[in-house]
């Protein structure tokens, strides 16, 4: 499947370095030409000889080794490969990539290459959730670097949590999907809504909510990775548009309603991840409302229910809704699922640590009209999105057969 493709596997100094051996082996079985670059720390966890044997190519470690290629070695390798995967990618390497530091062979290749770069983070859960690591990952995503994982599970330090490197089979599947230009949703059109709408009170103030838009942007990225032609209808956020995704910017619920309904008939799947304001001010003041020390009454009128309207109009489309609850999660979510006529509803309790607005992680359950339920542990929002895409592919397959 990967015949003729040249892939560089970068291995950094973490316990998960042993998984690099399986990644290389699987890529070789798919007929890829595999090259390996290791940090010196990585050689403390797995021997270069092992990876040289599996890849059938020299392993690069030291910038000042005798050149194995005819040109300046790190530049020649950077220009030679079709794709780079760093697995495991430690917090240290992610930080170096984020600021463009090139102080060893691997980080220099990463700075020099123009090939697509994937990283598979692997670290203790506290390190992964640290704001510095999350900021670094966000910067890398903004530059088009694709993140695989991490997953949740038992860690070498003896704790349980997010930060465990994805398994080799999942990593290789992601790379194969990318290089083959395919994916489970190739040829499908998807629309995602994201962010919290803002309902103006006056030219300065608005009514809003705490949604950051992170979940919706992760879903748009996962859909695009799976080959879907993806449109993102976004309320104001601080996130950059995922590579390959078409973004339509809106502010209010009415603007989002119009943008979604205008495109609905052409779409195969809609994921309503936005936090849409239920109400808006009946009147928007033309000038800034001045404080005068007295109570002020603001009349609110209901906004249209976008998800319910899509549920009424849908024919063959797959419709996904979200329920962010603070109490009676399952009861409220199941009621919403049936009232809105969705194919799948993603439910989460936003009061739980690691599942609230703005968090890099989420804890969700997938609910289906037939009574099925899938509960997930805490994981990154991108990992939630990829699990959701797998279910979407199954639902679309069922719709096609029917």
| Same domain? 208 vs 79 | no
Helix (H) or strand (E) holding 374: strand 373-375
Distance in angstroms (rounded) separating the CA atoms of residues 276 and 307: 10
Q: Assess whether 157 carries a catalytic annotation.
A: yes
pLDDT digits (tens, 9 = 90+) for 23-46: 999 999 999 999 999 999 999 999
- Distance between CA atoms of residues 148 and 386, nearest Å: 10
pLDDT at 65 over 70: no
- Show which of 180, 204, 239 is a domain's final residue: 180
Give the pLDDT score at 361: 84
pLDDT band at 401 (very low <50, low <70, confident <90, very high): very low
pLDDT for the residue 402: 47
pLDDT at 173 over 80: yes
* Sequential DSSP letters for 100-169: T---SHHHHHHHH--S-EEEEE---HHHHHSHHHHHHHHHHHHTT-EE---EEEE-TTS-EEEEEPPPHH
Look at residue 6 and give its three-state secondary structure: strand
The answer on 195 and 141 residing in a single domain is no
Residue 390 CB partners (closer than 8 Å, separation 6+): 184
Give the per-residue pLDDT at 57.
93
Same domain for 367 and 232?
yes
Domain hosting 42: range is: 6-180
In the chain, % of residues over pLDDT 70 = 95
- Asked if 33 and 112 sit in the same domain, the reply is yes
Residues 254 and 131 in one domain: no
Catalytic residue among 47, 102, 112, 157: 157
Q: Looking at the structure, tell me whether residues 174 and 207 fall in a common domain.
A: no
Residues 30 and 63 in one domain: yes
CB 91 within 8 A of CB 115: no
pLDDT in tens, 187-236: 999 999 999 999 999 999 999 998 999 999 999 989 988 889 999 999 99
Residues 170 and 196 in one domain: no
The last residue of one of the domains, among 152, 180, 208, is 180
| 93 occurs within a structural domain | yes
Residue 66: pLDDT band (50, 70, 90) is low
Q: What is the pLDDT of residues 256-305, one digit of tens each?
A: 999 999 999 999 999 999 999 999 999 999 999 998 888 888 999 999 99
- DSSP class per residue in 289-338: PPP-SS-----EEEPP-HHHHHHHH-SS-EEEEEEEESSSHHHHHHHHHH
pTM as predicted = 0.75
Measured in residues, the chain has a length of: 402
Q: 399 pLDDT exceeds 80? A: no
Q: What CATH number should be reported for the domain holding residue 237?
A: 3.40.50.10300
User: Averaging pLDDT over each range in 173-182, 232-241, 301-310, 357-366, which range is the top one?
Assistant: 301-310
Asked whether residue 292 is assigned to any structural domain, the reply reads: yes
Domain end (from 180, 199, 227):
180
pLDDT at site 67 = 52
Tell whether 359 is covered by a domain. yes
Query: Across 109-118, 136-145, 176-185, which has the greatest mean pLDDT?
Result: 109-118
1 lies in some domain: no
pLDDT tens-digit profile of 73-95?
556 788 889 999 999 999 999 99
- Residue 27 domain-assigned? yes
Contact 104, 110 (CB under 8 A): no
Query: Band of the pLDDT at 149, cuts 50, 70, 90?
Result: confident
Same structural domain, 345 and 206:
yes
Q: Which residue has the tokens 């804890």?
A: 363
**Is the domain of 319 the same as that of 265?**
yes
Among the listed residues 233, 239, 138, 221, the one whose alpha carbon sits nearest the alpha carbon of residue 178: 221
Task: Specify whether 146 is located in the same domain as 197.
Answer: no
Answer whether residue 208 is part of any domain. yes
How does residue 22 score in pLDDT terms, banded at 50, 70 and 90?
very high
Q: Are residues 49 and 111 in the same domain?
A: yes
Phi, psi dihedrals of residue 43, rounded to the nearest 5°: -70, -15
What total of structural domains would you count in the chain?
A: 2
pLDDT at 356 over 80: no
Q: What is the CATH number of the domain that holds 139?
A: 3.40.50.1950
Q: How would residue 180 be classed by pLDDT, with cut points 50, 70 and 90?
A: confident
């Amino acid at each position: 499947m990967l015949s003729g493709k040249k892939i560089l596997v970068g291995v950094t100094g973490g316990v998960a370095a042993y998984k690099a051996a399986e990644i290389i082996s699987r890529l070789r079985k798919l007929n890829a030409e595999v090259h390996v670059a290791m940090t010196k720390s990585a050689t403390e966890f797995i021997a270069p000889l092992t990876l040289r044997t599996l890849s059938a190519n020299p392993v690069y470690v030291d910038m000042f080794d005798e050149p194995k290629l005819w040109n300046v070695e790190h530049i020649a390798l950077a220009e030679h490969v079709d794709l780079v995967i760093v697995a495991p990618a430690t917090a240290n390497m992610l930080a170096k990539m984020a600021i463009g530091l090139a102080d060893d062979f691997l980080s220099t290749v990463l700075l020099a290459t123009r090939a697509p770069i994937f990283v598979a983070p692997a670290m203790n859960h506290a390190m992964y959730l640290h704001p510095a690591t999350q900021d670094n990952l966000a910067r890398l995503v903004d530059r088009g670097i694709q993140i695989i994982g991490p997953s949740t599970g038992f860690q070498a330090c003896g704790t349980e949590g997010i930060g465990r490197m994805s398994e080799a089979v999942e990593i290789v599947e992601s790379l194969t999907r990318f290089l083959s230009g395919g994916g489970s949703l190739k040829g499908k059109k998807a629309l995602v809504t994201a962010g919290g709408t803002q309902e103006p009170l006056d030219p300065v103030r608005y009514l809003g909510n705490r949604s950051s838009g992170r979940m919706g942007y992760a879903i748009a990225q996962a859909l695009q990775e799976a080959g879907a032609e993806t449109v993102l209808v976004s309320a104001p956020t601080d996130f950059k548009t995922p590579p390959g995704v078409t973004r339509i910017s809106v502010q209010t619920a009415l603007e989002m309603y119009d943008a979604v309904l205008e495109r609905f008939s052409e779409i195969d799947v809609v994921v309503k991840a936005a936090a849409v304001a239920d109400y808006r001010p009946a009147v928007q003041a033309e000038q800034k409302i001045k404080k005068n020390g007295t109570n002020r009454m603001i009349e609110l009128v209901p906004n249209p229910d976008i998800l319910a309207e899509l549920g009424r109009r849908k024919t063959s489309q797959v419709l996904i809704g979200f329920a962010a609850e603070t109490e009676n999660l399952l009861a409220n979510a199941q009621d919403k699922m049936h009232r809105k006529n969705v194919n799948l509803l993603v439910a989460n309790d936003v009061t739980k640590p690691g599942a609230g607005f703005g968090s890099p992680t989420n804890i969700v359950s997938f609910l289906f009209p037939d009574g099925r339920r899938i509960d997930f542990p805490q994981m990154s929002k991108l990992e939630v999105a990829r699990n959701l895409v797998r279910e979407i592919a199954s639902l679309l397959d069922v719709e096609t057969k029917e």
